[in-house]
Amino acid sequence: MGQRVTGMTANQATLPMAGSIFRFARHGQSGATVSELTPFTARVADELCFVKSVHTEHINHDPAITFCQTGHHLAGRPSMGSWLSYGLGSANRNLPAFVVLVSKDRIDQPLYSRLWGNGFLPSVHQGVQFRAGGAPVLYLDTPPGLSTDARRQALDGLAELHRLQAADLGDPEVTARTAQYEMAFRMQTSVPEVADLSREPRRTLDLYGPEAAKPGTFAANCLLARRLAERDVRFVQLYHPGWDHHGGLPTGIRRQCADVDRACYALLTDLKQRGMLDDTLVVWGGEFGRTNYSQGKLTATDYGRDHHPRCFTVWLAGAGVKTGTTFGATDDFGYNVAEHPVSVHDLQATILHLLGIDHERLTFRHQGRYYRLTDVHGEVVRGILA
């Protein structure tokens, strides 16, 4: 049986090999190979663990990204962040346990709210998207004309009514409701506070670079992610779309790398300076790789690449990761994994392990069976543990 190739190049008459036109060099004591397009990342090469042998089963965006985020390629399973919220609980009284940040203005392939959905887990474990500009969380703002004091008074009145109701009915649900209204009220203060990057000192803003001043950029989101992690938000998922370079790859990849390079460097540096990198895991990757052959015409300065599920690179840093290493390898053509294959489920198992969870034991009973993030697969990649 032939290999799975997408219908975009399956019928292409020739598939010319296309080496990168960008220079790669070795960096840091570890000698990690990093592209000239990510000079900042190169500076923290020794903080990173590159896994070069990740592979997936899916060749199209929607199934592949759903697989990455939920462990299954069809919609309906809980996302990784909601599993963690379910497994670890919340460590914060005023913020959700699972926050999602999406870069503005970089859509090529779409995102779906099911990627941070709770699936069959209780909906309290849903990821909460923080948005740039306006209210950071949907419906966070008190309606115009209602002052915080007036709202407070009204909620106090409601709480009093609820006390009467609870005394009459004896249903603990009434009291639970009051508690949730109080947390909502606190979130109205705590969320804008955490989202306000202007409170950061100048040198921190400088570290992330000028892009961080623009709300919704990847750089601003990295800084916001650090602020959330600092306040014990369990899981922050950042999305930065725009990598689907079927054609015109050189232009596209320059732009994308410029978006993320300095921000990744700054995030790691910032976390390290604050002593947070020891217990914060940072994972960077995509839903699949790209082909070593050109989609469409190959010229000296231009080419495109189709989806490639058989090998791609993900890096990890921070808590419990063996940094300054490169794990796994592909063949000389970057087409197949040559050593230490790591499946998406393996990666998920490893992430859970690093967060203190046995991926086989974090289960939820649904439709009569015990479900887990890694389905019935996944092995912790011992080789990348510190």
| CA 200 – CA 117 distance, rounded (Å) | 31
- Complex with another protein: residue 106 or 272, whichever CB lies closer: 106
| CA 298 – CA 329 distance, rounded (Å) | 26
Is residue 269 a contact partner of residue 263, using CB atoms and an 8 Å limit? Answer: no
Burial of 3 (0-12, 13-18, 19+ CB in 10 A): exposed
- Complex with another protein: residue 265 or 371, whichever CB lies closer: 371
- Complex with another protein: residue 175 or 251, whichever CB lies closer: 175
CA 89 to chain centre: 19
Q: Alpha-carbon Rg of the chain, whole angstroms? A: 23
Shortest spacing between CB 256 and another protein, in angstroms: 17
Tokens of 210: 């000028």
| CA 386 – CA 382 distance, rounded (Å) | 9
- Complex with another protein: residue 173 or 332, whichever CB lies closer: 173
- Complex with another protein: residue 184 or 385, whichever CB lies closer: 184
Shortest spacing between CB 35 and another protein, in angstroms: 26
Dihedral over Cα of 171, 173, 175, 177: its sign: negative
Shortest spacing between CB 127 and another protein, in angstroms: 11
Is residue 44 a contact partner of residue 269, using CB atoms and an 8 Å limit? Answer: yes
- Complex with another protein: residue 14 or 301, whichever CB lies closer: 14
| CA 360 – CA 378 distance, rounded (Å) | 9
Burial of 370 (0-12, 13-18, 19+ CB in 10 A): exposed
- Complex with another protein: residue 146 or 385, whichever CB lies closer: 146
Distance spanning both ends of the chain, measured CA to CA: 40
Shortest spacing between CB 170 and another protein, in angstroms: 6
Helix (H) or strand (E) holding 236: strand 235-239
